[in-house]
Chains A and B, each alone.
Chain A
Amino acid sequence: MVRYLGFRVLQAVGVLWAAFTVSFAVLYLLPSDPVSIAAGADAGTPVDAAAIEQLQARYGLDQPVAVQYWNALSHAVRGDFGISISTGQQVTDAIAAALPSTLVLAGTALVLALVFGTAVAFLATYTRAGWIRSLLFSLPPLGVAVPTFWVGLILLQFFSFRLKLFPAFGDQGIEHVILPAITLALPTGAVIAQVLATSLQTTWRQPFIEAARAKGASRLRIQTRHALRLSSIPAFTIAGVIVGNLLAGSVVVETVFSRAGIGRLTQMSVMAQDIPVVQGIVVFSATVFVLVNLAVDLLYPLVDPRITHGGSRGGTAAAAEEDPAHGDTLLEVEARV
């Protein structure tokens, strides 16, 4: 177990380093530079080239790229991502200020997504009415396909601008979180419903269900006591993907609903090519992703005692191999990632 943990921590460090390096390379390769953007702004006043050079020197952008990379990396390791080029704020302060808003949004959306995703999957596999079943099975693809910003604008149009039930912007109280959370929960809930429904279908075809049925268990009892627990493992596997979805979705949702969270900070800093802030957010997001996946792997044995962490292999692969019945579901999930 200790060896396994050590291996996973090393793996996590590798993932974080890769995320940091790739984002640095992408930002560095973009045309222009953050200083010209900050200096040019939109006021339309042309800026002196000497001032731009001075500004570049201040942020170390005049150094060779290898030196810039090394400086950024060595500071990042110590948790120091420097200061934002466009606002002068400490990057860690900017992220800390934006975090609560995103946590509330993503947390509410996650609860909604779990409740509705599970309900749709449960009903779709439980019902025997063919048309309800096909209707419910068509909901998850629809939920994934509908553009998030469109859903957000439609909700705003009816519930805020016309019915005036909810405010259109801001992030103070519970009334501010409902519409954006629904918008963000839709694609996430759809993924949960999709994976869970497919898994439930597979489970229902297994011999032990036949056995349960032969013993006279009701359909409801089989679904709740036998099928659901086993089928929830694949859904559990994609927890990392779900968290990723929520973070990515917050970019659009927070812009549409004018919430000052991590998503909008991402959008603004990418537009301004504010390298320190983008790097900070990338490393933060990667950390969350890595931690969630690690937690999931460590919790597997609690949900399914057949899974153990004896060897040096990763949890997901181990689960797939030791649980052949769910092999194809898991492959599907991995393809999605």
Chain B
Amino acid sequence: MSISSSSASRLVVTAAATAVLGAALTACGSGAAANSEPTGDPQPGGTLRYGLSQAPTCADPAQAGTNQTIYVARQVVDSLTDQDPETGEIVPWLAESWESNGDGTQFTFRLKEGVTFSDGTPLTAESVKKNFDAIVNTLGGVKAPQAVGYLSGYTGTTVVDDRTAQVTFSAPNAPFLQATASHQLGLLSEADTAKSAEERCAGELSGTGPFVYEDYQQDKSATLVKRAGYSWGSEAFGHDGEAYLDRIEFTVVPESGVRTGSLASGQLDAISDALPQDAPQIEGAGGRILTTPNPGIPFGFQPNVSRGVLADPAVRSAVIPAINRQELVDTVLGPDFRPATSTLASATPAYVELADVTYDPQKAEKILDDAGWVPGPDGIRVKDGQRLSFPVLFSSVFAGNQAILELVQQQLRAVGIDLQLDLVSTPETTARQNAGDYEASYYNSTRADGDILRTAFGLQGRNINQRGPIPALDDVLNRQLSTTDPAARAELIAQAQQLVLDNGLWIPTVELSQAIGAGPNVADLKFEASARLQFFDTWLSE
């Protein structure tokens, strides 16, 4: 049993599968163009068979961290609010209305009437209190780091009356409103909130969601059935009443070639993580690949400003225009992906396009010339005997990372910068980030709110930049926490995007996209605002 080679062999498996399947397809000679979804009126009923790329780690939405876990757990709970995937606007779901005080320390939610959990108990303000209390006290940062992060400074929930819950924080937490739309803060029955973290993972949970767990087998499969009588859907949903699907059967199919083959041969209806090279086979069988860009921080380099050549602000500014992002997308990723145009991804609310994130090699060279970096004998610039060279720490958590960085390496070399690729395992990335052992770290981060800028670039927290105070930036990052007016907050987040770039704290490359393979009979399989799947409107044609 070889331990170290398991990830390598998986890559080989994928490559071999692709080769085998690609050859088979060519033999069939089917070259169908992109297929359209089934049209007509949605038909209720049927079972959707879904292939997950990894086993879900836990049945509890509050503890769900991986996308594959979220795809399952999201369906069984509703949240207080929802986020419109198109506009990023917060819309009613379990709460019909809400208000907050001026500095974002108190939020009052008015719940819809007649909502019940699948165990028959009614949704009340007490349920809200029990859920948030359980996240902070029972689960804690240990089991639910994201949820606890959203509830940072939580002092308690006051039950004003049966349908009014008032959530209070000790310090401003304006992003909390967006967080109430997340699956992590989805509401479970009071009986579930009394359980331990491990018991919640086992799958016997009652939410108010459009689907209910029928069966949950750790590492293996999960089956959801429609919640009869569901009538409290989010305003972002496409229809009222119950979900269309009778059942969703999730199976774990780890090999991408096997997922694609199963989809193309009709053994699955939809699959996770369809690779660009799988598209011809899926489309050849009448299916299609659904994509959506992830909100949050796009892929990019986060420089350690305390070490090496990246300690020079001029070098950080010069790398930004030296990267040809359109070429990265065209050469490596294909049409489903977008070049980054800011320090936030374009699908994030309050995103602004930044003019400086453009390809301009002359500008890069001029910045370096002016800073005293002159071309050395091998074309790489030098200054005071120091070569303009830095390593980047990255993992293959996204399959395209290596190819992207190899191309960036060539692009930077053209302006006299030497980039060294330091590929490590995903766990090692986290460990080395925490240890501060890197000159630049390459990754991305998903969240549909600009507060991710504070998480990634704030002085508190992990401070991967290893930076000292930058008063202008620290000020806007903190002020957006206490600004509840959406327009005013968007303005602060816009400033923060520019300041992160101006200080060379992020060198963006491309935006991540999700790619879901769907068979010819699947209609309206949708992404919610955080680029995760929502099956409520999905239906199957005959």
Contacts and interface: CB of A to CB of B under 8 A. Distances in A.
Q: Do A and B bind each other?
A: yes
Given A32-B425, A169-B258, A260-B252, A55 B66 contact: no
Nearest to A171: B220
Nearest to B512: A44
A26 B254 CA distance: 25
A201 interface: no
Contacts of A154: 20
A55 B65 CA distance: 15
B455 interface: yes
Interface stretch (B76-84, B319-327, B440-448): B440-448
A39 interface: yes
A36 B430 contact: yes
Contacts of B66: 41-43
A86 B57 contact: yes
A124 B36 CA distance: 57
Contact of A32 (B17, B427, B461): B427
B141 A51 contact: yes
Interface in B64-102: 65-67, 70
Interface in B292-333: 296
B257 interface: yes
A45 B455 contact: yes
A156 B258 contact: yes
A168 interface: yes
Contacts of A50: 141
Interface in B425-453: 425-428, 430-432, 434, 443-447
A258 interface: yes
A88 B427 contact: no
A41 B427 contact: no
B455 A46 contact: yes
Nearest to A263: B1
Contacts of A247: 1
Contact of B431 (A32, A153, A169, A251): A32
Given A51-B148, A52-B434, A169 B455 contact: no
A283 interface: no
A273 interface: yes
Nearest to B199: A88
A325 B388 CA distance: 70
Interface in A11-56: 26, 30-33, 36-52, 54-55
A51 B251 CA distance: 31
B434 to A, nearest CB: 7
B125 interface: no
Nearest to A267: B6
Interface stretch (B259-267, B400-408, B471-479): B259-267
A77 B20 CA distance: 47
Contact of B262 (A97, A168, A264, A267): A168
A157 B261 contact: yes
Interface in A60-115: 83, 86-89, 94, 97-98
Interface string A238-250: 0000000001100
A54 B142 contact: yes
Contacts of A153: 13, 16-17, 20, 255, 257-258
A162 interface: yes
Contacts, number: 193
B184 to A, nearest CB: 10
A33 B258 contact: no
A53 to B, nearest CB: 9
Given A51-B145, A156-B261, A33 B1 contact: no
B147 to A, nearest CB: 10
A310 to B, nearest CB: 36
A49 B149 contact: no
B374 to A, nearest CB: 38
Interface string B199-237: 001000000000000000111110000000000000000
Contacts of A178: none
B262 A45 contact: no
B62 to A, nearest CB: 13
A54 B220 CA distance: 29
Interface residues of A, number: 65
B219 A48 contact: no
A201 to B, nearest CB: 32
B397 interface: yes
B344 interface: no
Given A88-B58, A98-B219, A153-B20, A258 B461 contact: no
Contacts of A255: 10, 13, 254-255
B146 A43 contact: yes
Given A43-B65, A89-B218, A260-B217, A83 B261 contact: no
B462 interface: yes
A330 B245 CA distance: 61
A169 B57 contact: no
B424 interface: yes
B181 interface: no
A42 B430 contact: no
Contact of B251 (A36, A37, A40, A170): A170
Contacts of A162: 24, 265
B462 A46 contact: yes
A2 to B, nearest CB: 35
Nearest to B53: A42
B438 to A, nearest CB: 13
Contacts of A88: 58, 143, 197-198, 201
A42 B255 CA distance: 17
B140 A54 contact: yes
B267 A168 contact: yes
Nearest to B3: A270
Nearest to A42: B66
Interface string B128-147: 00000000000011110110
Contact of B447 (A36, A38, A45, A86): A45
A330 to B, nearest CB: 25
A98 B217 CA distance: 11
Given A32-B427, A149-B16, A44 B446 contact: yes
Contacts of A44: 296, 443-446
A164 interface: yes
B265 A258 contact: no
Contacts of B12: 149
Contacts of B447: 45
A270 B1 CA distance: 11
A154 B23 CA distance: 12
A24 B344 CA distance: 42
Which A-B residue pairs are the 3 nearest by beta carbons? A51-B141, A41-B65, A32-B427
7 contacts: A38-B57, A46-B464, A161-B262, A164-B265, A168-B265, A260-B221, A271-B7
Given A89-B201, A169-B262, A255-B13, 16 more contacts: A42-B66, A42-B67, A43-B67, A46-B462, A48-B141, A48-B462, A51-B142, A51-B145, A54-B142, A94-B219, A149-B13, A149-B16, A153-B257, A251-B1, A258-B254, A273-B427
